[in-house]
Amino acid sequence: MNRSDLIDGLAARFGNLKQNDIDFAANTILDAMGDALFAGRRMEIRGFGSFSMKQRQGRIRRNPRNGNSVTVPERRVVHFKPGKALRESVDK
């Protein structure tokens, strides 16, 4: 599911709201999530899960085509940990 699928699904579910209002609300929420993660803060949505940033160390890997060593720099990645309610609903 991508952003437009999410907005279309919400518009179908909540017929009394305008598509533009749903689009604005979804974009505002997703932008706030991105801003919080960019600032290094942890974000939690009860019953769904939590998002946080993890630091991956730089490492040396091999190019599979020619076998040369390639240095992969360290970077920050988004980590998602599902909440208990989400895990239980998926496991059913």
pLDDT in tens, 54-82: 999 999 999 999 999 999 999 999 999 99
Asked which of 11, 26, 41 is the last residue of a domain, the reply is 41
Q: How confident is the model at residue 3 (pLDDT cuts 50, 70, 90)?
A: confident
Same-domain pairing of 4 and 21: yes
Mean pLDDT of the chain: 92
Same domain, 83 and 58: yes
Are residues 51 and 85 both part of a single domain? yes
Residues 66 and 91 in one domain: yes
| Residue 80: CATH number of its domain | 4.10.520.10
CB neighbour class for 26 (10 Å; exposed up to 12, middle 13-18, buried from 19) = middle
Domain assignment of residue 65, given as a range: 42-92
Q: Which helix (H) or strand (E) holds 38?
A: helix 19-38
82 and 53 part of one domain: yes
Task: Please compute the mean of the pLDDT values over residues 3-24 and round it to a whole number.
Answer: 90
